[in-house]
């Protein structure tokens, strides 16, 4: 196996172009090292950790720019994330164990494109964008279209994620990330639900609502039909019940060793209901009537 530590993005891209599908990008290594031990060695390992500038968090007007090499623990302990992006903070706080959070990077969690990737449903509801570098040039893509299937994203084998731009949610909005797993730590989500609610000025109707679902479809998804149904409406118990059932019907979970698809649908329903109730209360100070 060949091994490289490129010092620039363009050097990394030339290596990816040269080795094609044989090349594997590695950063924290918490997924790739397991593949090397239990699946197969790639022909070439490209360690991107020596590229300067990819490991910083910077505020940029109305958004936070997160470098792909920033570790989950660095996000978890960043005050701006805690204050401005609590939905993302919550998913990083519930991520695996402290040991893994100290090594795993957000770029790795994204590029792995696992449907259950902990940060992905939060990034979808925050309407974050990926900055991608290819030999032909750079492009910016919303995460809404980035994920294409389990392990598949528009980054392909030739691209590199160079930045994650996470806009601050609208004024007055509140959100939660709810994870369902057997253990509190070190467990992969059976279901993860991220909810972001923005009430109108009078705090009577939903001006905006976003619902992200993890681990219940081939990619993390937004429950867009449910969101459309709720937008502009007052949020009462009947509405929440309908929305939760609709979100469950928008999911298409598989049966696997962690749970059955049927069980996952029930959990989507329960977590969507709880997520809407909690976010609405946090945003308006009022219980759902």
Partner 1 sequence: MSLTINTTINGKSVSASAEASTSLLEFLRDTLEYKGTKLCCNTGECGACTIIYNGKPINSCVTMAADANGAEITTIEGIANGDKLHPVQQAFIDTGAVQCGYCTPGYIISVKALLDRTTKPTAEDIEEAVSGNICRCTGYTKIFDAIQLAADRMAGRV
Structure tokens at 106: 């957000």
Q: How do strand 44-47 and strand 23-26 relate by DSSP bridges?
A: parallel
Nearer to partner 1, 37 or 257 (CB): 37
Q: How far is the CB of 254 from partner 1 (least distance, A)?
A: 21
Ordered DSSP codes for 132-197? EEETTEEEEEEHHHHEEETTEETTTTT-EEEEEEEEPPPTT-EEEEEEE-SSSSS---SEEEEEEE
Nearer to partner 1, 79 or 183 (CB): 183
Q: How far is the CB of 3 from partner 1 (least distance, A)?
A: 3
Nearer to partner 1, 45 or 194 (CB): 45
- Interface residues with partner 1 (CB under 8 A) are 1-3, 5, 26, 29-30, 33-34, 36-38, 41, 45, 47, 49, 73, 96-100, 102-103, 184-186
Q: How far is the CB of 171 from partner 1 (least distance, A)?
A: 31
Nearer to partner 1, 107 or 212 (CB): 107
Q: What angle do CA 43, 46, 49 make, to 5 degrees?
A: 155
Distance CA 183, CA 244 (A): 24
Distance CA 169, CA 207 (A): 13
Q: How far is the CB of 105 from partner 1 (least distance, A)?
A: 12
Nearest to 47 by CA among 105, 92, 100: 105
Residue with the two structure tokens 């029930």: 266
Q: How far is the CB of 118 from partner 1 (least distance, A)?
A: 14
Q: How far is the CB of 188 from partner 1 (least distance, A)?
A: 10
Distance CA 228, CA 22 (A): 43
Nearer to partner 1, 34 or 56 (CB): 34
Nearer to partner 1, 3 or 201 (CB): 3
């Amino acid at each position: 196996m060949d091994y490289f530590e490129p010092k620039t993005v363009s050097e990394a891209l030339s290596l990816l172009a040269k080795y094609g599908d044989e090349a594997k990008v590695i950063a924290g290594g918490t997924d790739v090292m397991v593949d090397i031990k239990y699946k197969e060695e790639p022909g070439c390992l490209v360690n991107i950790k020596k590229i300067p500038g990819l490991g910083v968090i910077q505020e940029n007007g109305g958004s936070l720019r997160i470098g792909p090499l920033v570790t989950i623990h660095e996000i978890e302990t960043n005050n701006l994330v805690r204050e401005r992006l609590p939905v993302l903070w919550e998913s990083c706080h519930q991520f695996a164990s402290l040991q893994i959070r100290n090594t795993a990077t957000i770029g790795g969690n994204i590029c792995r494109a696992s449907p259950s990737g902990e940060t992905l449903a939060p990034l979808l509801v925050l309407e974050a964008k990926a900055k991608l570098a290819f030999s032909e040039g750079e492009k910016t893509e919303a995460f809404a279209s980035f994920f294409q299937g389990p392990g598949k994203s528009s980054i392909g084998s030739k691209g590199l994620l160079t930045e994650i731009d996470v806009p601050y949610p609208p004024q007055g909005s509140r959100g939660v990330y709810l994870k369902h797993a057997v253990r509190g730590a070190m467990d992969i989500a059976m279901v993860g639900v991220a909810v972001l609610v923005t009430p109108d000025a009078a705090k009577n109707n939903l001006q905006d609502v976003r619902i992200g679902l993890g681990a219940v479809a081939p990619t993390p998804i937004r429950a867009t039909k449910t969101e459309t149904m709720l937008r502009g409406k007052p949020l009462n118990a009947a509405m929440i019940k309908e929305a939760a059932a609709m979100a469950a019907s928008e999911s298409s979970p598989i049966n696997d060793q962690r749970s059955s698809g049927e069980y996952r649908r029930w959990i989507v329903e329960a977590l969507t209901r709880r997520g809407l109730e909690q976010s609405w209360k946090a945003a308006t100070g009022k219980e759902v009537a």
